Amino acid sequence: MDIFNDTIPGISLNRAYKELISKSKYKESITIAIIDSELDIDHPDLKNQIWTNTDEVPNNGLDDDNNGYIDDMHGWNFIGTNGQDEVPYTSFSSTRIIKKYKPKFKNFTKEKISKEDLKYYNIYIEALRVYDQELSQRKRDIEMYKRMIKKYRSAEIFFDSLFNNNYSLKQLDSLKRLSKKGEVIFEHANNMHYYLKYGYTPIWLNDQISYETNIINTLLNFDHDDRALTEDNPFDILDTVYGNNHIQGTRKLNHATKVASIIAAEKNNDIGIDGITNDIKIMSLGVTAAGDEFDKDIALAIRYAVNNGARIINLSIGREISLFPEWINEEMKYAEQNDVLIITSAGNNGYNLDIRTNFPNDTYNSKEFLKNFIKVGNISYKLDSTIVNSYSNYGSKEVDIFAPGTAIYTDTRTSEAFSTGTSYSAPIVSGIAVLIRSYYPNLTAAEVKQILLESGVSLDLLVLKPFPDGEKRDPNKVP
């Protein structure tokens, strides 16, 4: 959609194809690296768009191109194992950092820390804050779900006696209007109406309790060994011989498939959705399971992408805290030196990134050090005060541009689904970048960035701040 023609803040893709792209003759297929979860490269809407390493002989057990990776035909899975085992959970960065540094720093104050250790001590203190915040929120959510189940069961018993287990939302709404707040019948009608309308069944609520409990027992558990199967040292950037070429993975995660479909789902094939462009090859680099990515995996994936011909990298990942940001910064600088554009998601915490941090970023010691880096926030499809999604990170300095990321129709491994988050805003910008580079291949990464930022539409709107800095919005009223 086009903001001027349709009054919807879209990316004007249909207009671009009609007025610009259809009149252009020359085009070049662009390789984009998607550094994300495992990817469904056999998806019928993506299989024709997958990058192939022509310097590698498939399945011969040899590193034919001498790039350090055996049989890497379509990319590499950095969280894969020698036995192609499942790696469902990693951990949060805060968990790893505390686990590594607590034995060293737990009995020290800042004044007693040596100058050499001060950097890591500060990271450790920040990790404690992030960890406590995460754990407390998970526990609060579990207690909330338990209260909801209790209220559901109580209302269910009450209305079964009145309606013999046969009542509608309309009847519950009538009971709410005919009773007064504080009366038993009003409270039961109000609760059950809400639960039925939004699908909050005891089964769903118990599933959420199990999910949150599992997160506590794995991602927040200091005894969980999240690199036992990859058998590498995540704190050694020189330990590079790990992972496998099974980029499909075993967990059947959908995240990378959704991201890839936005950019490259084959157009006009009556399957799934239509992506932004067909003039593309997707290089899949797996770094994501449930939990935070490892700095080492991201850094090595960026170098792989650059060395194997990617011209754009999409990083729909991010976290508050990073132990080795210099590893990633070094590889992003390497990408800049090799004219590769990096596009990242801003994150979904509702934070002002001019105050808080979301890694990776292009700022070091308060100075921007890259010209090939774009961080993308999430807007909705409504041209009003809610245009900035209520969970999108933002920041006048750190977030470069906003793109649609609310209720975006995406392919999954088995069907299609509406998806929301900055993870889906970033690939929209990446898709546009692919279009630009495919028709104007002589443009540099820095020039493409400049074109993208200067092509954005500035809106004179009073908008609501995302939560938690702004007032919390009713999630059922936010688009």
HEC states along the chain?
CCHHHHCCCCCCHHHHHHHCHHHCCCCCCEEEEEEECCCCCCCCCCHHHECCCCCCCCCCCCCCCCCCCCCCCCEEECCCCCCCCCCCECECHHHHHHHHHHHHHCCCCHHHCCCCCHHHHHHHHHHHHHHHHHHHHHHHHHHHHHHHHHHHHHHHHHHHHHHCCCCCHHHHHHHHHHCCCCCHHHHHHHHHHHHHHHCCCHHHHHHHHHHHHHHHHHCCCCCCCCCCCCCCCCCCCCCCCCCECCCCCCCCCCHHHHHHHHHHCCCCCCCCCCCCCCCEEEEEEECCCECECCHHHHHHHHHHHHHCCCCEEEECCCECCCCCHHHHHHHHHHHHHCCCEEEEECCCCCCECCCCCCECCCEECCEECCCCEEEEEEECCCCCCCCECCCCCECCCCCCEEEECCCEEEECCCCEEEECCHHHHHHHHHHHHHHHHHHCCCCCHHHHHHHHHHHCCCCCCCCCCCCCCCCCCCCCCCC
In contact, 75 and 283? CB cutoff 8 Å:
yes
Q: How many structural domains are present in the chain?
A: 2
pLDDT of 206 > 50? The answer is yes
Is there a single domain that holds both residue 300 and residue 407? yes
For the segment 214-236, the average pLDDT, to the nearest whole number, is 91
Q: Which two tokens stand for residue 79?
A: 């969280």
The first and second tokens of residue 365, run together, are 């010691």
Task: Kindly indicate the confidence band of residue 228, based on its pLDDT and cuts at 50, 70 and 90.
Answer: confident
- The pLDDT, as a whole number, for residue 231 is 86
Are 353 and 277 within one domain?
A: yes
Domain range for 156 is 99-216
- Looking at residues 10-32, what average pLDDT do you find? 88
Give, in order, the Cα–Cα distances in Å from 322 to each of 2, 82, 148, 267. Answer: 38, 27, 36, 38
Q: Is the predicted pLDDT of residue 477 greater than 70, yes or no? A: no
Phi (first) and psi of residue 394, to 5 degrees: -150, 180
- Domain boundary among the residues 193, 216, 239 is at 216
Confidence at residue 87, expressed as pLDDT on a 0 to 100 scale? 74
Q: Do both 171 and 291 map to the same domain?
A: no
**pLDDT at position 479 over 70:** no
Residue 461 lies in a domain: no
Mean pLDDT, residues 267-289 taken together: 94
Looking at residue 468, its pLDDT comes to 84
Q: Give the model confidence (pLDDT) of 71-119 as tens digits.
A: 999 999 999 887 767 677 789 999 999 999 999 998 888 888 888 889 8
Last residue of some domain: 165, 192, 216? 216
pLDDT at 181 (0 to 100): 87
pTM as predicted: 0.90
22-52 pLDDT, tens per residue? Answer: 777 778 999 999 999 999 999 999 999 999 9
Closest by CA position to 384, among listed 466, 477, 461, 460: 461
Going by C-beta distance under 8 Å and a sequence separation of 6 or more, which residues neighbour residue 109?
none
Is 369 domain-assigned? Answer: yes
The confidence band for 166, taking pLDDT boundaries of 50, 70 and 90, is: confident
Tell me, yes or no, whether 340 and 424 share the same domain. yes
Q: What is the mean pLDDT of residues 246-264?
A: 90
What does the pLDDT look like over 298-331, one tens digit per residue? 999 999 999 999 999 999 999 999 999 999 999 9
Residue 471: inside a domain: no
pLDDT of residue 258 exceeding 50, the answer is yes
Which residues have CB under 8 Å from 359's CB, separation 6+? 318, 319, 320, 321, 322, 325, 328
Question: Of the given ranges (43-47, 55-59, 224-228, 466-470), which has the lowest mean pLDDT?
Answer: 466-470
Q: Does 476 have pLDDT greater than 60?
A: no
Percent of the chain topping pLDDT 90: 76
Q: Are residues 136 and 21 in the same domain?
A: no
Domain membership flag for residue 451: yes
Q: Is the pLDDT of residue 445 over 80?
A: yes
Domain boundary (216, 239, 264) is at: 216
pLDDT at 391 over 90: yes
Do 395 and 246 belong to one domain? yes
* CATH code assigned at 295: 3.40.50.200
Looking at the chain, the whole-number percentage of residues with pLDDT higher than 70 is 98
Same domain, 66 and 190: no
In a domain, 31, yes or no: yes
Q: Which amino acid is at 367?
A: K
| Average pLDDT value over all residues in the chain | 92
Cα of 229 vs its chain's centroid, Å: 24
In this predicted structure, what is the pLDDT of residue 474? Answer: 62
CB 276 within 8 A of CB 49: no
Instruction: Note whether residue 477 is domain-resident.
Output: no
User: At 467, is the pLDDT very low, low, confident or very high (cuts 50, 70, 90)?
Assistant: confident
Residue 221 lies inside a defined structural domain of this protein? no
Say yes or no: 9 and 143 in one domain: no
* Domain match, 318 and 445 both: yes
Mean pLDDT across 399-421: 95
Task: Give the pLDDT mean for 218-242.
Answer: 91
User: Does residue 359 lie in a domain region?
Assistant: yes
Instruction: Evaluate whether 55 touches 64 at the Cβ level (below 8 Å).
Output: yes
Residues 113 and 168 in one domain: yes
- Tell me, yes or no, whether 264 and 394 share the same domain: yes
Which candidate, 436, 438, 430, 449, places its Cα nearest to that of 313?
430
Same domain? 379 vs 304 = yes
pLDDT at 109: 85
Q: Which of 28-32, 47-51, 368-372, 469-473 has the lowest mean pLDDT?
A: 469-473
In this structure, of 81-90, 152-161, 412-421, the range with the lowest mean pLDDT score is: 81-90
Q: Is the pLDDT of residue 475 over 60?
A: no
